[in-house]
């Protein structure tokens, strides 16, 4: 395949992966729905930089070396699983503390935003992606199967831009749509259910990764 075909294939595979439900998708949905566009947008930016970092590490072979070291990879899984568990339990704890309201949506957020700054929102997005061991495996597989070692530096640079640009476009669009006033009115009544679903998803994913890492460390 020539470089143009490789880049188009890379873009297609990555975009399909972005649209599939996972911790990144759930994080944007939960926070943009409840806390608004700015929080969702900075989380989207953090996720995109996490994806860019994974892409660079995979392209340079660093992620492959990490994956080939059982102890190091298990520790990464332990950290990633613990963080996802923290996000899930925090979401469920916040849900239990919230008080049901019979009021209609008036354009104001009734729940205080625990993400106090743009930097905090960015950091949460970045950490969620970079600590996800499944993301490491995905990008190692993606880069090794689609980007040949003989590809030009220009082609590799364009590949990185595509991965980062598509990620930022998708997650920002998701945050923008979910935080639009018309969408907020529709989602207002089911926001607690969204929080609950996202919290359970984080707990299940984090628990699974955490358990796998413990098994690997004890073997």
User: 127-182: per-residue pLDDT in tens?
Assistant: 999 998 888 889 988 888 888 878 899 999 999 999 999 999 999 999 999 888 88
Structure token pair of residue 165? 């640009």
DSSP, residue by residue, 133-194 = HHHHHHHHHHHHHHS-TTS-HHHHHHHHHHHHHHHHHHHHHHHHHHHSHHHHHHHGGGHHHH
Residue 21 lies in a domain: no
Structure token pair of residue 215? 């098994």
Residue 49 lies in a domain: yes
The pLDDT tens digits of the residues spanning 25-71 come to 999 998 888 888 899 999 999 999 999 999 999 988 888 888 788 88
- CA proximity to 89, closest of 187, 207, 194: 207
Residue 27 lies in a domain: no
3-state SS class at 162: helix
Residue 20 lies in a domain: no
Q: Give yes or no for a contact between 167 and 48, defined as CB atoms under 8 angstroms apart.
A: yes
Examine the pLDDT at 89 and tell me if it is beyond 90: no
Structure token pair of residue 45? 């930016």
Residue 135, domain extent: 3-14+34-101+116-218
Angle formed by the axes of helices 23-35 and 191-218, to 10°? 150
Residue 63 lies in a domain: yes
Residue 108 lies in a domain: no
Number of structural domains found in the chain: 1
């Amino acid at each position: 395949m020539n470089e143009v075909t490789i880049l188009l294939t890379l873009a297609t595979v990555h975009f399909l992966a972005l649209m599939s439900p996972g911790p990144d998708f759930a994080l944007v949905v939960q926070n943009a729905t409840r806390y608004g566009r700015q929080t969702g947008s900075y989380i989207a930016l953090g996720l995109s930089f996490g994806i860019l970092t994974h892409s660079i590490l995979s392209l340079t072979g660093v992620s492959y070396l990490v994956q080939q070291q059982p102890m190091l990879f298990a520790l990464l899984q332990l950290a990633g699983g613990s963080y996802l568990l923290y996000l899930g339990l925090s979401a469920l704890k916040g849900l239990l503390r919230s008080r049901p309201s019979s009021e209609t949506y008036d354009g104001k957020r009734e729940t205080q935003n625990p993400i106090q700054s743009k930097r905090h929102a960015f950091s949460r997005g970045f950490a969620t992606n970079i600590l996800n061991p499944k993301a490491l495996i995905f990008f190692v597989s993606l880069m090794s199967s689609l980007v040949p070692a003989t590809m030009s530096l220009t082609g590799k640079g364009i590949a990185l831009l595509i991965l980062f640009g598509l990620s930022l476009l998708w997650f920002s669009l998701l945050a923008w749509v979910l935080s639009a006033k018309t969408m907020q009115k529709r989602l207002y009544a089911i926001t607690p259910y969204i929080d609950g679903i996202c919290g359970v998803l984080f707990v299940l994913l984090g628990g699974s990764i955490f358990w796998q890492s413990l098994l690997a460390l004890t073997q």
